[in-house]
Amino acid sequence: MKRFLPAVVAVLVLVALAVVLRDGDRPPERHVPLGAAVSTRWLDSDARYRRVIARNFDSVTPENELKMAYTQPRRGRYDFGPADRVVDEARLRGKEVRGHTLVWHGQIPRWVTRGGLGKRALARVMREHIATVVRRYRGKVHEWDVVNEALEDFGGWRPSVWYRTLGPGYVEQAFQAAHAADPSARLYYNDNLGRDRAAKWLAIRRLVVYLKRQGVPIHGVGIQNHVTTASYPGREEMETNLRLLEKLGVDVQITEMDVTTSQGPSEDALGLQARAYRDAAEACAAVRACKRFTVWGVADQFSWRGGHERPLLFDSHYRRKPAYAPLREALGGSG
């Protein structure tokens, strides 16, 4: 018996080694957090709204409260009341907050859009705005959509007040200002896919390449994904393009998904919707750089796209719709 002992030990060691190596090869279990855009409009008035968010989502994005029209309605006069409300509620419930958004052509105050601010003045306004907002939420908001929708549907620069006054350099300046205000924040460029998705994917990639080459502190790209059941990026398109972005050295996220149902065949609209959500979620889960998946609202009746479109994961009675479970499953369970 003693003779065989070394051989037995050797076999056991080999088996143990094989098990360890195989486990080492297996990718660790992945759970992509699920977020929702939330609004102060219902946070205080609707307890069910609060409860559904608390129970079903891992993170929140203030739907409007961090946009410039809210945070700096008058020049130099900041109002953080509504944003604080969302951030405090989220932290109370242990949810992360996405900061949306610092520089955008939409929902900016009239004193900015009216024009009349020259290049130097507007550049200063932008930098100070970013510094003030990002600093205020340092340690509470760890990721920001620094610039939103700088590109048009077919890939050209959008002629926003920022672009017209400051030129394309405004994007770089915005990221630098955000980085200086909170060096540990994850900084995102956020955009939609427009009417020509191929052109837009390409334009977003080119922007990232350009910014990276300049040494701009950009860490991620957010894809909004406001779609319809009649037209949405399928699993393959989404995965391929997220991967191409990953190769450029940035993280990615789905940041604002909703799926309207009035276009396309009306029978089984909610089934088609579930598929659109699942496709995007599977693509995100398959790409290591995809860090979060956010839907743009909680329950249908409050959606910016209109309640009749039924675009979200909960119906107007706060019941889970067919899209919820497969989406969660695709993202790797409810964590």
Residue 254 bridge partners (DSSP): 223, 293
Minimum CB separation of residue 265 from ligand XIL in Å reads 26
Beta bridge partners of 258: 226
End-to-end CA distance of the chain: 50
- Active centre residues (catalytic): 149, 256
When asked if residue 304 is in the footprint of ligand XIL (CB under 6 A), the reply is: yes
Q: Which of 59, 71, 148, 273 binds ligand XIL (CB under 6 A)?
A: 148
Smallest distance from the beta carbon of 318 to ligand XIL, in angstroms?
19
Q: Which is nearer to ligand XIL, 224 or 253 (CB)?
A: 224
Nearer Cβ to ligand XIL (250/297): 297
Whose CB is nearest to ligand XIL? 304
Q: How far is the CB of 333 from ligand XIL (least distance, A)?
A: 28
Q: What does the alpha-carbon distance between residue 88 and residue 12 come to, in Å, rounded to a whole number?
A: 55
Residue 43, phi then psi, degrees to nearest 5: -60, -40
Question: Do the bridges between strand 290-295 and strand 251-260 make them parallel or antiparallel, or are there none, so unpaired?
Answer: parallel
Q: Scan residues 32-91 and list those touching ligand XIL (CB under 6 A).
A: 63-64
Closest by Cα among 198, 179, 252 to 221: 252
d(CA 313, CA 56): 10
The CB density around residue 264, as the number of other CB atoms within 10 Å, is 17
Q: Which is nearer to ligand XIL, 57 or 285 (CB)?
A: 57
Question: What is the per-residue binding string for ligand XIL in 207-246, x denoting contact by CB under 6 A?
Answer: -----------------x----------------------
Binding pattern for the stretch 249-268 against ligand XIL, x by CB under 6 A and - elsewhere: -------x------------
**Total residues contacting ligand XIL (rule CB under 6 A)?**
6
- Whichever of 100 and 282 has its CB closer to ligand XIL, that residue is 100
CB of 296 to ligand XIL, least distance (A): 6
Q: Which of 311, 314, 316 is nearest to 328 (CA)?
A: 314
Give me the least distance between CB of 20 and ligand XIL, in Å please.
46
Q: Within 13 Å of residue 71, how many CA atoms lie on the same side as its CB?
A: 26
Can you say whether the dihedral through the CA atoms of 231, 234, 240, 242 is positive or negative? positive
Torsion angle, CA of 271/279/209/152, rounded to 10 degrees? -10
178 versus 285: smaller Cβ distance to ligand XIL: 178
Q: Which residues share a beta bridge with 60?
A: 36, 97
- Residues in contact with ligand XIL by the rule CB under 6 A: 63-64, 148, 224, 256, 304
